Amino acid sequence: MNIGLILLSICLTGLVIVALRRREPAGPVLKRMVEQFAKLVPRMLCALLGAGFLAQLIPQQAIAALLGEDAGLIALPIAALTGVIVPAGPVISFAIAALFAKSGATTAALVTFITSWAIFGLHRVFVYEVPLLGASFTRLRLVSGAVLPLVAGGIATLVGLVISYGTAVPN
Amino acid sequence: MPTNFDPSQQKKRVNPAPTGEKSWAADLLADAFGWEFWIFFLVAAGFGVACYLVRGADVMWAALQSDLDMLLKLLPRLLVALSIAALIWVMLPRRWISGLVGSEAGWAGLVVATVAGALTPGGPSSAYPLLAVLGASGADRGAMVAYITSWAILGMQRVLIWDVPFLGAEFAILRTLVSLPLPILAGLIARNIPLTLTLRPITGASDAANSSSGAGVAEKGQGA
C-alpha cells in the first residue's frame, strides 16, 4: 500500500458515494472500465517489457548523463526534444518516463519530457487535430505551446531548489 | 476517422444497443489484441531478442522478471484509476463542459477554459470533437488553445491513470502544480500572436475544400 494507491482509493470512494446518491446505473461504468482495461493492459505489458529490455541495451549511465543531475540545465532541452520525438500514446511515453526515472533523470527533466510529449504528440495531431480543426489551428497551438515544456521544467527546477518534493518513485 | 461531432454521441459507444452484446465482446477482443497490440508485441519481442544477443540470457531473464514485477505492482493502482476514470466519464456531462467555455471572456475565459480542459474525461477522441464544437460556437482562439493545452498537460484523468501509477503521487502533484499556469500562458500567446486561424467547418471533415473557399470560421488575431 503506497501513497499513490491511497490517494486513488480516496478519489474512488468519493466518486462512488456521489454515483450511489445520484443512482447512476452501474452498467455503463463497468463497461467503460472493462473497455479501457482491455485496451490498455495488453499494450502496457508489451511497452513495459520493451522499455525494460531497451534499458539493458542503452546503458543507464548514458540516460543519467543526459537527463540527470550532472547534465545540469542542458537536461531540459534534451528532455523536451525527446518528448517531441515520441509519437505514441501514454502507454509508451509513460513507460519511457518510468525508465528515465529509474535511470536517474531529474524531476525537472521528467516534467519537461511529459509536458513536451503532451503538447507535441504527433499521433494526436494527425489523427484528430488536423482532420477536425484544420492545420492552421495546429500551427497556432504548437507555436503558442512551444515554450511550455521548458517553462514547466524551469519552474520545476526552481521548486527543486527550495524543497525536495515531488521525486518520481517508479516501481 | 472520427466524423462524430456531437459530444453527446460519445455516450453511445459506452452504451451500445442491447443487440450489440455479443459484438461488444468481439470488439473488445479486437481492441485488446488487434494489429496495434501485435506491433507493440513485436517491438517488445525484438528488444528482448536484441537484449538476449547483446547482453546474454541472464540479463534478459532478469529484465523480464523485474518488468513483470513492475506490472503486478501497477495493476491494482491502474484498476482503481480506471474505475475513477469510468465514473467521471459516465457522470460528467460533456455538454456542460462545452457550455462552460465561452461563458467568460478575457482572463476569466482562459481560466475557465483551463479548468474545463483539466476536467474533460477521456482521450483525444472525446476532447477534440468538443474543441471543434467550442470553435464553431465562437470561443476565442486563446480559450481554444488554453482548453486543449490544459486537457493535454493537466487532464485529471491522465494524471490519475498515468502519472500516479507510473511515477508516484508526489510527482503527479508536483507536475500538476507546476503546470497550472501553462495553459493560460499558451492562451495569452495564442491571442497575441499574428497567425491567421481558419477553422474547418463543423459539417464534416470530408469537405475540407470548403475551408479554402471561405466557408470556414475565419478569425483575425485579436486579443479578446
Confidence of residue A171 (pLDDT cuts 50, 70, 90): low
Do A76 and A26 reside in the same domain of the chain?
A: no
Taking an 8 Å cut-off on Cβ atoms, the answer to whether A27 and B15 are in contact is: yes
Instruction: Please tell me the total number of residues recorded for chain B in this structure.
Output: 224
Nearest to A49 by CA among B79, B42, B54, B168: B42
Residue B72 lies in a domain: no
Mean pLDDT for all residues in chain A: 88
Residue B170 lies in a domain: yes
Residue B16 lies in a domain: yes
pLDDT, position B224: 29
Do A83 and A42 reside in the same domain of the chain?
A: no
Question: Which of B82, B164, B195 lies closest to A37 in CB terms?
Answer: B82
pLDDT, position B102: 67
Do A14 and A69 reside in the same domain of the chain?
A: no
User: Quick one: closest CA in A to B74, which residue?
Assistant: A171
Whole-angstrom distance between the N-terminal and C-terminal Cα of chain A?
Answer: 12
Chain A window 124-163: which residues touch B at a Cβ cutoff of 8 Å? 124, 127-129, 131-134, 136-137, 139-141, 143-145, 147-148, 151-152, 155-156, 159
pLDDT in tens, A88-98: 778 888 988 99
Confidence of residue B4 (pLDDT cuts 50, 70, 90): very low
Whole-angstrom distance between the N-terminal and C-terminal Cα of chain B?
Answer: 33
Question: Which of A15, A32, A54 lies closest to B14 in CB terms?
Answer: A32
pLDDT, position B160: 87
Query: What residue numbers bound the domain in which B45 lies?
Result: 11-55
Q: Quick check: B149 and B157 in contact, CB under 8 A?
A: no
Q: Helix B141-154 crosses helix A148-162 at what angle (to 10 degrees)? A: 50
Kindly tell me if the per-residue pLDDT of B106 is higher than 90. Answer: no
Residue B193 lies in a domain: yes
Do B44 and B98 reside in the same domain of the chain?
A: no
CA distance A72 to chain B (A): 19
Q: Helix B182-192 crosses helix B106-119 at what angle (to 10 degrees)? A: 130
Within 8 A of A37 by CB-CB distance, chain B residues are: 78-79, 82
Residue B122 lies in a domain: yes
Q: Helix B169-179 crosses helix B141-154 at what angle (to 10 degrees)? A: 170
The reply to whether A164 touches chain B by the CB within 8 Å rule is: no
Do B103 and B213 reside in the same domain of the chain?
A: yes
Q: How many domains would you assign to chain A?
A: 2
SS3 content of chain B, % helix, strand, coil (to 5): 75, 5, 25
- Interface predicted TM-score (ipTM) over 0.95: no
What value does the CA radius of gyration of chain B take, rounded to a whole number of Å? Answer: 21
- CA distances for A4 relative to A1, B30, B160, angstroms: 8, 31, 9
Do A74 and A132 reside in the same domain of the chain?
A: yes
Query: What residue numbers bound the domain in which A148 lies?
Result: 59-171
Chain A window 46-105: which residues touch B at a Cβ cutoff of 8 Å? 46-57, 89-91, 94-95, 97-98, 101
Do A53 and A98 reside in the same domain of the chain?
A: no
Which of A57, A85, A102 terminates a domain? The answer is A57
Taking an 8 Å cut-off on Cβ atoms, the answer to whether A29 and B86 are in contact is: yes
pLDDT higher at A149 or B32: A149
A18 contact partners, CB below 8 Å, separation of at least 6: B91
- In the numeric block, the cell 464544437 is attached to B133
Do B128 and B36 reside in the same domain of the chain?
A: no
Residue B83 lies in a domain: no
Residue B190 lies in a domain: yes
pLDDT, position B53: 92
Q: Helix B57-91 crosses helix B35-55 at what angle (to 10 degrees)? A: 150
Kindly tell me if the per-residue pLDDT of A48 is higher than 80. Answer: yes
Do A92 and A41 reside in the same domain of the chain?
A: no
Within 8 A of B123 by CB-CB distance, chain A residues are: 89
Do B178 and B100 reside in the same domain of the chain?
A: yes
pLDDT in tens, B182-218: 999 999 999 998 888 888 776 543 333 333 333 333 3
CA distance A97 to A94: 5
B68 contact partners, CB below 8 Å, separation of at least 6: A49
Residue B1 lies in a domain: no
Residue A164 has a CB neighbour count (10 Å cut-off) of 9
Do A7 and A84 reside in the same domain of the chain?
A: no
Q: Quick check: B15 and A28 in contact, CB under 8 A?
A: yes
The reply to whether A118 touches chain B by the CB within 8 Å rule is: yes
Do A34 and A73 reside in the same domain of the chain?
A: no
Q: Sort B21 into a burial class: Cβ within 10 Å, 0-12 / 13-18 / 19+.
A: exposed
pLDDT higher at B22 or B12: B22
Helix (H) or strand (E) holding B217: strand B217-219
Kindly tell me if the per-residue pLDDT of B12 is higher than 80. Answer: no
pTM of the model: 0.78
Taking an 8 Å cut-off on Cβ atoms, the answer to whether A137 and B197 are in contact is: yes
SS3 content of chain A, % helix, strand, coil (to 5): 80, 0, 20
Do A28 and A90 reside in the same domain of the chain?
A: no
Q: Sort B84 into a burial class: Cβ within 10 Å, 0-12 / 13-18 / 19+.
A: buried
Which of A26, A42, A57 terminates a domain? The answer is A57
Do B108 and B162 reside in the same domain of the chain?
A: yes
pLDDT, position A109: 96
Kindly tell me if the per-residue pLDDT of B32 is higher than 70. Answer: yes
pLDDT, position B35: 82
Q: Could you tell me what percent of chain A has a pLDDT over 90?
A: 35
Q: How many domains would you assign to chain B?
A: 2
User: Which among A107, A144, A147, A162 is the top mutation candidate for probing chain B, defined by the most B β-carbons within 10 Å of its own β-carbon?
Assistant: A144
Do B41 and B109 reside in the same domain of the chain?
A: no
Question: Which of A22, A114, A134 lies closest to B199 in CB terms?
Answer: A134
List phi, psi (to 5°) of A168: -70, 140
Do A120 and A43 reside in the same domain of the chain?
A: no
Do A50 and A66 reside in the same domain of the chain?
A: no
Confidence of residue B19 (pLDDT cuts 50, 70, 90): low
pLDDT in tens, B166-184: 898 899 999 999 999 999 9
Do B107 and B209 reside in the same domain of the chain?
A: yes
Taking an 8 Å cut-off on Cβ atoms, the answer to whether A46 and B15 are in contact is: no
Do A49 and A79 reside in the same domain of the chain?
A: no
